[in-house]
Amino acid sequence: MSTTQESTESVKAPTAPPAPNRLKDLGRQLLGTRRVIVGLVLLALLALFALVGPLVSGWEVGERDFTDILGAPSADHWMGTNTTGQDIFTQTTAGLRKSLMIGLLVAVITTAVAALVGSFAGYFGGLVDKGLMWIADLALVLPSFVILAILSTHFSGDGGWFVLVILLAVFSWMVTSKMVRGLTISLREREYIHAARFMGVPPYKIILRHILPNMSSLLIADATIMVSSAIIGETALSYFGLGVQAPDVSLGVVIAAGSRFATTAWWMFAFPALLLVVMVLAVNMIGDGLRDALDPSSKSRRS
């Protein structure tokens, strides 16, 4: 792919070759990694599955088949049914839709908040640092479970799940932000940060352009872990009935319901759990690829 690029460049070289486009480069880099492709395809398939699944199964979400309770996978129910005769396939795919959204959104919001709070606190120091870290400490000591329990009534209805997303994010950014702050303090004394400061680059640009990219490995790792922990966190809440509220259904709700029957009616647990594993795997693959593409010193960049 680069041969054509080079030949055009060398023709123009004597005058002025075009400026290299970092984003295009990055995109090409990403798509050149097999892991990213596999991860993206998996994620796209999951999304498709989540969107189309409930439509093709022939059963409504929450609909019960009283003729087939706790049934094994069959032609009617591809993944069997649960204790109340609900179709596992329909429940799982519908749950997957919510869980995908919750997992990805929580991860992105949490990591973004953590990165911004941590880096601003670390870069500016002084009062800004004190203020932001005080907020972080406060959020750490708040009993998140109790607050979620109190507010769980708001999780039902349209957009209720989004409130849950925000709340999950609010209670999970603090630890990462402390790590980011520590890293920022050590990066702040690097000479390239001094150089940028001395050429007049405003502080917010220094943070976005020099500091955050240099901890992208940490942030990406954090975001990928956040995806799974958000889903699992939501699952835990659902187990106590405090997560996604009926009639909404999430992967966590389905897994929680199925886990009790994991040994007797394996299909209730196996299928949703498998989907969760695939989803986390896909996100991790994309995260790995993104980290390598952003890090010029990583081995896979040698081309």
Contact positions toward another protein, by CB under 8 A?
Answer: 9, 13, 16-20, 22, 25, 190-192, 194-196, 198-201, 205, 209-210, 213-214, 216, 294-297
* Minimum CB distance to another protein, residue 219 (Å): 12
| Of the candidates 107, 293, 130, the residue with the CA atom closest to the CA atom of residue 213 | 293
* Minimum CB distance to another protein, residue 289 (Å): 16
* Minimum CB distance to another protein, residue 124 (Å): 15
* Backbone dihedral region for residue 15 (phi beyond 0: left; psi -120 to 50: alpha; all else: beta): alpha
Residue closer to another protein by CB (options 196, 276) is: 196
Residue closer to another protein by CB (options 31, 195) is: 195
Are residues 79 and 92 in contact, defined by beta-carbon separation less than 8 angstroms?
A: yes
Q: Return d(Cα 234, Cα 252) in angstroms, integer.
A: 6
Q: Return d(Cα 128, Cα 203) in angstroms, integer.
A: 13
* Minimum CB distance to another protein, residue 19 (Å): 4
Amino acid at 212: L
Are residues 99 and 237 in contact, defined by beta-carbon separation less than 8 angstroms?
A: no
Q: Return all residues near 58 (Cβ < 8 A) that are at least 6 apart.
A: none
What DSSP line would sit under 37-105, residue for residue?
HHHHHHHHHHHHHHHHHHHHSSS-TT-B-TTSTTPPS-SSSTT-B-TT-BBHHHHHHHHHHHHHHHHHH
* Minimum CB distance to another protein, residue 233 (Å): 32
* Minimum CB distance to another protein, residue 37 (Å): 23
* Minimum CB distance to another protein, residue 191 (Å): 4
Q: Return d(Cα 155, Cα 147) in angstroms, integer.
A: 13
Contacts 24+ apart (CB under 8 A), 67-71: 70/261, 70/265
